[in-house]
Amino acid sequence: MNEMSKNENIDIQIYNFAYLDENTKRMIRRALLKALCIPGYQVPFSSREMPMPYGWGTGGIQVTSACLIPKDVLKVIDQGADDTTNAVSIRKFFQKTANVAVTEKTSDASLIQTRHRIPETKLKEKQILVYQVPIPEPLRFLEPRETETRKMHALSEYGLMYVKLYEDIAKHGHIETAYAYPVKTNGNYVTDPSPIPKFDNPKMNNSPAIQLFGAGREQRIYAIPPYTNVKSLDFEDYPFEAMKANFKCSICGSSDSYLDEIIVSDDGKRSYICSDTDYCKEQTKLNSKKEDQL
C-alpha cells in the first residue's frame, strides 16, 4: 500500500510544470519577447517534439506551456468549439501537466489556446490568445524558398501578394480568399493570421489582449501586441469585407456570430449554428431570461 501511494506521487511529478523543461521554455520565452517587440515578424525557434502529431497544435501548446502560470484559467477551442477532440485533449494535457483550472467561458479565461477562430466575446487586457498555426509564412504558396521570402519581408516587397489578390478579382470578381486572409501588422510585416475565417480579421486590430502565434512544424513564433494596428490587405476599389453566411443560428438565433453549416438530413437539408459554442450558450441563456421577463 505504502509502495503504491509512493508511485502515485511519482506519477504526479513526472513532468516539469506545464510539460516542457526549463531550458526549452527559456528559449521559447526569449523568442516570444522578441516577437512582441517586432509585431508580425516570424521569429525562428527550435521547436520540440510534442506528444501529439504535427498539425494538432504542437506550436500552440509549446507557446502555452512557456506562458502558463499556476493561477491561470485555461480555455481551449477548436474552430470555436470547446468540446471537439483537439480542444478536449489539449485541455486535459495541461490539466495533467500544469494542474491549472479550465473553463469554457471566454470571459473567465486568462489564457485561451485556439485553432482557427477568435472568440466572439470581446477579449480583455492581459488575456492571452495563443493561435495554432500550420503555415506561418503568408508568402509560402507564392514563393517556396525561405531565403527569398525572408528577403521579401526584409524589403517589405509584398507586390506578389497584391498580385495574388488581384488575380482573385480578375477571376472571380471579388477577393476569393475566405480564410488565412493576409494582414499587415503595425504597418510593416505582412502576417498570416492562421486559418481563421476573414470574418475574424477585424477582431485582431487594436485588441486589448496579447496575441501569440506558434507554428510547431515550421518552427516559428510571432506575436501581435495589444493595441496594434492590424489591417487586412485590400484595394481602394475593392475594400476588405468581413464575411459570414447570411443566416441566423438555429440554436440561439444570433445573426452576428460566425456560423457553421451542418447537414441535418439524408436529403441534404442544411442548418446553421454558431461556431463559437460558448457564445451560443450565452446567447441562449440571455434569450430564455428575456422570455421569462415577458
Annotated catalytic residue, options 216, 249, 253, 268? 249
Give the nearest distance from C-beta 126 to another protein in angstroms.
6
Identify whether 249 is a catalytic site residue: yes
| Residues 216-275, interacting with another protein (CB under 8 A) | 225-229
- The answer to whether 54 and 62 are in contact (CB under 8 A) is no
Give the nearest distance from C-beta 26 to another protein in angstroms.
5
Question: Is residue 208 close enough to count as binding another protein by CB under 8 A?
Answer: yes
Find the helix or strand (DSSP H, E) in which 59 lies.
Answer: helix 58-67
- The answer to whether 272 and 250 are in contact (CB under 8 A) is yes
Question: Is residue 140 close enough to count as binding another protein by CB under 8 A?
Answer: no
From residue 258, how far is each of 19, 105, 171, 196 by CA, in Å?
34, 17, 26, 11
Identify whether 67 is a catalytic site residue: no
Sign for the CA dihedral angle at 113, 115, 119, 124 comes to: positive
Q: For another protein, which residue of 51, 70, 144, 253 counts as binding (CB under 8 A)?
A: 70
Question: Is residue 41 close enough to count as binding another protein by CB under 8 A?
Answer: yes
3-state secondary structure (DSSP) of residue 29:
helix
Give the nearest distance from C-beta 34 to another protein in angstroms.
4
User: Which residue matches cell numbers 456560423?
Assistant: 259
> How many whole angstroms from its chain centre is CA 140?
19
- The answer to whether 210 and 129 are in contact (CB under 8 A) is yes
Return the active site residues.
40, 249, 252, 274, 280
Where does this chain bind another protein (CB under 8 A)? Answer: 16-18, 22-23, 25-27, 29-39, 41, 43, 66-70, 125-126, 128, 150-151, 153-155, 186, 188-189, 208, 210, 225-229
